[in-house]
Chain A
C-alpha cells in the first residue's frame, strides 16, 4: 500500500514538473520583456531595427517646417487635423531600438517624445505603407 502511495505521488510530481516546464517555457516565449509599461494586454515581442526610411519619417514629425511635419502623416490623417504645426519647435523624438513590428503593409514602433518644457512621453507610433513609403497613421502616448 505504501509503495502504491509513493508511486502515485511520484507520478503526480512528475506531471507537475513537466507541466511547469512546458507551460512555463511557453508562457515565457510568448510574452515580451519589451512590452509597454502599464499595457499588460499588449505584450509585443521584441522587434527588428527600425528601417532608415521610417527613422527619417519620424524625424520629419519634429522638423522645423510645418509642411514636412504634416507630410509624415497619411493623407487621411493629415486632412483631419487642424492647420499648423503638429509638434512645437524643439521637440525631440527618439525611436526605441528593435521596436519595429511590420506585417502586411502596416507596422508599429515605440519612441520617446520630449516636448519643450514637458516631461518625456512614451509613444506608440503606427505606420501604413503607401506606394512603398511608410507614413504615420497613429501617434499615441502609452500611459
Chain B
C-alpha cells in the first residue's frame, strides 16, 4: 500500500512516539545488582551499591505484584514503604515479584524456589543477612523458601535471613477463603463468621474498577490459590515449619466490627474480623524470638461499606503508617545488630602466618611455606572471602590463596585453597570471584579466575580492549589489577602503548562477562607498589605509578581513580628538591587522599651510584606528609607511615617504621597498630608486611 506523503510521515511519527512511550513504560526503575540479575523477579528500589548494606526484601501477597508496596492508589511511589527503607543508611531495598506465576501455590518453581535464590544472592552480594518483609501469602512463600538449601554445603536459606516480618500472613489459612470455597470453618466464631459473610455478600460481583480494592482480594481468594489458602488447608499444613532459630515477627490488622443494621439494634457484640481476609488468630499464629505480635486495631468502621476501605483491611494494613514505622524501627534494629556483630576485622601477614585480628584478639588463619612472603591481602565485597598472594624471597615463585567461610562462621572454619601462580602479581575480587593478572599477553587479554571450591584456575577472557599501539617491554599487553570496581566489576590498568616514557596505560572496568568500560588514562611509566589502595567505601583507588626519564631521573607519585565517574586525578608531585618518591598513600575516613613523599638528589655527577649488589644508592631526604586538596598536595604535620588503611567504620590500621633505603617503599615491613573498640591505638603485630580491613 502506498500512503500519501504526509499520511505516511504521520504514521511513522505516531509509530515512533508509540514505541518511545512503550520503551519508557517498560524500563525498570532500577536494576538489581549485576550478580543477582539472573533472578528477574528481583528489582532494586534505588540503584545503590549493595555491598555492605543490609538488604530488605519485600515479598508481596496473593493477587498483587511488586507495586502493591506503593500504597493506596494515587499515593506517591517516591514515598513508598520500600523507598523509605531504601533511604535508610546502609540498607538496600528490593522487591520480589511473582505476579507472572499467580495463581500457583508457593511451591511453584517461580515462587518459593526463585525467592530462595533471590535471598541467597542478596546475602552473598551484600555480606549481610537479608531481612524479609512479607505480606499475606508472601509470608508463606518465605516460610517455604527459607527451608530450601542455600547452595552452600549443608546450608539452608534461613541462615541467610536475619528476620522475617509477616504482615497479614494466613499462617493457619483464611476463613474467608474457606467460606468462598464452601469449605468447613468450624474454627470461626459466630460473630466473625456473620460479619465476614455480610462482607462477602456486599462484594458479590462488585465492580472491579480498582484491582487493589478489598473486593479484589475477595475475588482472588476464589482462585485455586485461594483454595490452598483455606483455613487449615492441606497445602498450608504441608509447608515445612519455620526454622526454630529464625526470628519471625507478626504484624496484623484487626477490625473490630459492630454492625448496626437497619434494625436499630445498637448493642450487638463487637466482632473481631481480622483484616477481613485473614483472621487475627491466623495472622498472629506464629512468631519467634520477637515478642508479642503487633496488632493494628481499627474500630471506627461500623458501616460495612467503609470497612472495605479501612486502614486495617488486608490490602491497606501493609502500608499503613503505623505498620511502616514499626517495620522500619525493626529494620534499623536488625541492621544495627548485624553491624555490631561484625566488629571490624583486620587481616595481616607477619612472618609466614596470615592472621585475623579483632579488638585486640588475633587468630592464625593460615601459614605459608617457609621462604615465602605475603605480598597482598584482599577481601571480597561481602567479607566472606579473603585472598592473599605470597612470593618466594627471590621472586622465583608465587602462590595465590583463597579462604571462604560461611555466613556467621568463625574464621577457623574457613576452607583454604591455593594455586601456583608464577605469572601473577596482583589479585582482586570481581564481585565474589577472585581474579588475578598474569594471563594477559600482547596477543590475548585475559585474567585468571580462581574457583571458590579450589578447582584449577581458569582463563577469564577480556574483550574489547583498545588495540596495543607499539608498546614494548615485559609490561606490554599486561592487565594490572587496581582493585574491585562497582557493581561486581574489577578495575584494571592495561599497558597498551609506549615504553618508559609514556603513560601507565588505559584504565578499564571489567565485568563478570569480561566486557570492559574504558576509563581515564593515567600518567607514569608503569605501576609501582601494585597493592591497590582503596578508600574506606571503595569508591576511589589510589594508583601508584613510576616515572623514568633517565637513569638518574626517576620518581614516583600517586593518582586517584574515582570509580563512580571513571575519572583520574593526577596531581603534580610536591615541590621537593631532587627526585621525588612516594613512600605511602592512604585515604582518610572521608575519602581524602594523603601521601608521604621523600626525595633523593639523583645520581648525576655522583661516582658511587650503585652498591655492591648492583642496587642504586639513594640519598634520601626527610619524609613529608601531604593531603590532596583540590588536586594539589598541601603539606600537613602528620607523622609518616609505611602504609595505612582506614575502615569504613572509622578505625585506622597503620604500618609504622622507617622506610627502607630501596625504592619503592610500598612492601616494607614494620610494626602494625590498629584502633580497638575504645578507639585506642594498640599493637597488632611486629614485622608485619601486609594488611587489610574486612569491608
Contact = CB atoms under 8 A, between A and B. Distances in A.
Q: Do A and B bind each other?
A: yes
B261 A138 contact: yes
Contact of A103 (B191, B205, B261, B263): B205
Contact of B204 (A79, A104, A139): A104
B193 A103 contact: no
Contacts of B259: 138, 140
A107 interface: yes
A14 B262 contact: no
Contacts of A8: 13
Contacts of A71: none
A7 interface: yes
B177 to A, nearest CB: 11
A99 B35 CA distance: 56
B89 interface: no
A126 interface: yes
A104 B180 contact: yes
Interface string B436-465: 000000000000000000000000000000
B268 A138 contact: no
B14 A15 contact: yes
A31 B656 CA distance: 78
A106 B18 contact: no
Contact of B207 (A7, A42, A87): A42
B434 to A, nearest CB: 53
B27 interface: no
Contacts of B197: 74, 76, 106, 126, 128, 137-138
A7 B4 CA distance: 13
Interface in A20-62: 30-32, 35, 39, 41-45, 47
Nearest to B262: A139
Interface of A: prevailing SS: mixed
B329 interface: no
B267 interface: yes
B263 A31 contact: no
Given A15-B18, A47-B205, A123 B267 contact: no
A66 interface: no
A35 B206 CA distance: 11
B198 A45 contact: no
Contacts of A106: 180, 197, 200-201, 203-204
Classify chain B: how many residues form its interface, as a range: 35 or more
B606 interface: no
A104 B222 contact: yes
A95 interface: no
Q: Which among B197, B267, B309 has the highest number of chain A CB atoms within 10 Å?
A: B197
Contacts of A126: 197-202, 204, 304
Nearest to A86: B263
B198 A138 contact: yes
Contacts of B260: 140
Contacts of B14: 11, 14-15
A47 B308 CA distance: 21
Interface residues of A, number: 50
Interface in A101-134: 101-108, 113, 121, 123-128
A123 B206 CA distance: 16
B206 A42 contact: yes
Contacts, number: 132
B682 interface: no
Contact of A101 (B205, B265, B309): B205
B474 interface: no
Contacts of A101: 204-206
A1 interface: no
A105 B309 CA distance: 23
A86 B268 CA distance: 13
B182 A74 contact: no
Interface in B157-203: 180, 182, 190-191, 193-194, 197-203
Nearest to A127: B201
Interface string A65-94: 000000000101101111000110000000
Given A128-B200, A141-B262, A44 B206 contact: yes
Contacts of B213: 41
Interface in B124-169: none
A137 to B, nearest CB: 5
Contacts of B6: 7
B304 A138 contact: yes
B29 interface: no
Contacts of B18: 15
Interface of B: 6, 9-10, 13-14, 17-18, 180, 182, 190-191, 193-194, 197-209, 213, 222, 259-263, 265, 267-269, 303-305, 308-309
17 contacts: A31-B207, A32-B207, A42-B202, A42-B305, A44-B206, A44-B207, A74-B197, A76-B190, A81-B265, A101-B204, A101-B206, A107-B204, A113-B262, A123-B262, A138-B198, A138-B259, A140-B260
Interface of A: 7-8, 10-12, 14-15, 30-32, 35, 39, 41-45, 47, 74, 76-77, 79-82, 86-87, 101-108, 113, 121, 123-128, 137-143
Given A107-B201, A137-B194, A138-B199, 17 more contacts: A10-B13, A14-B14, A15-B14, A15-B18, A31-B207, A41-B213, A41-B308, A42-B305, A80-B191, A87-B263, A101-B204, A106-B180, A126-B204, A126-B304, A138-B197, A138-B259, A140-B261
The 5 A-B residue pairs with the shortest CB-CB distance in the complex, in nearest-first order: A126-B201, A138-B198, A101-B205, A76-B194, A11-B13
